[in-house]
Amino acid sequence: MSGLALEHGAINLSQGFPDFAPPARLLERVAHHMAAGSNQYAMMHGAPSLREAITEKVARLYQVSYDVEREITVTAGATEAIFCAIAACVRPGDEVIVFAPVYDSYIPAILLNGGTPVVANLAAPDYRPDFDQLRRLLSPRTRMLIINSPHNPTGSVWSADDMTELAALLAGTEIVVVSDEVYEHMVFDGVAHVSVMHYPALRERSFVVSSFGKTFHITGWKIAYCLAPASLTAELRKTHQFVVFAVNHPMQLAIADFMREAPEFADQLAGFYQAKRDELRAELAASRLHLLPCAGTYFQLVDYSAVSTMADVDFAKWLTTEPGVAAIPVSVFSPHGSNLRLVRLCFAKASSTLVEAGKRLRSI
């Protein structure tokens, strides 16, 4: 869709990346560390200063402690962390439960490692986990469960009750969890992000994945990290070592500096993106698009049923080539397809972008 948007000069609200700059101080620290000579390989599991900054952040926000040497791994984006966690644990014949709509990297990674994806469906418009359904899907072959909160593409957020029920459901099993929390700082309306880290019974079986790209508006840097108990981390690193070995060194050092200098940046992110969400929703209030709830992430789902009967893939192409706004059809996140008329819009954009997109979308 980004390629189609470029070809037709459309406003790109499809792929999830900001169209504004990262913090200037962060860029300054990259230049500093490059000039200072930190241009060779970083340590395989991450620059020490960055792992220490991560430990401090996690302790401050979640009141839990991860060992700097044995339980934190810096990765080449969240996608690499998730792939390595799957590769570390999943073998042919193992089942991995995912929730659909499902982020597009999960199922290919499961299949590449010989696993069998098992799909639990999240129902519109709220996209809440159905624990009765989940209970029925568990089997002796279930090796892993992948959760994503805040959730891409729907913007739903797991609650404390959801996490408590998940912990009870997995008690007495050896099922491991991959908790994709890359939008941890983007939870709106005064609601706090609920992490598996808050629950010891979940934390001890979980790989927790977070993303600097999402937090600091630097998606192109592809730097993330994975938190896990030492036994799980040891297995993840066996894959990480031979997938990328090490991650961009001067940028790791710059992120560490910035995290310590400006911890408030991440703390203020929820308010920043809530204002973006509200701006887009205000722009679309007079349109014929129906807005679904958005409790987190920087994505807004819209129902276009009042505009067209086209399937969502066809509608997204038409929206890009005619009125000139690129969106993502939600059916591409559903392994079995979807007949819902929904597309995903990204509101991590400058106000001028959102205003012009709103003008075009009100015209349809």
> What's the topology of domain 24-261?
Aspartate Aminotransferase; domain 2 (3.40.640)
Token pair 């981390």 is at which residue?
233
DSSP codes, 283-310:
HHTTSSPEEPP--BSSEEEEE-TTT--S
Give the per-residue pLDDT at 339: 82
Q: Is 31 exposed, middle or buried (0-12, 13-18, 19+ CB in 10 A)?
A: exposed
How far does CA 11 lie from the centroid of its chain?
22
Token pair 């042919």 is at which residue?
92
pTM over 0.85: yes
76 in Cβ contact with 223 (< 8 Å):
yes
List, by residue range, all CATH 3.90.1150.10 domains of the chain: 2-21+267-362
Per-residue pLDDT of the chain (364 residues; tens, 9 = 90+): 888 988 989 999 998 999 999 999 999 999 999 999 999 999 999 999 999 999 999 999 999 999 999 999 999 999 999 999 999 999 999 999 999 999 999 999 999 999 999 999 999 999 999 999 999 999 999 999 999 999 999 999 999 999 999 999 999 999 999 999 999 999 999 999 999 999 999 999 999 999 999 999 999 999 999 999 999 999 999 999 999 999 999 999 999 999 999 999 999 999 999 999 999 999 999 999 999 999 999 999 999 999 999 999 999 999 999 999 999 999 999 988 778 999 999 999 999 999 999 999 999 9
Within 129-268, strands assigned E span 142-148, 176-180, 206-211, 224-227
According to DSSP H, which parts of 101-186 are helical? 106-112, 131-137, 160-170
List, by residue range, all CATH 3.40.640.10 domains of the chain: 24-261
Is the domain spanning 2-21+267-362 CATH 3.90.1150.10? The answer is yes
Q: Which residues are paired to 118 by β-bridges?
A: 97
299 φ/ψ angles, rounded to the nearest 5 degrees: -125, 145
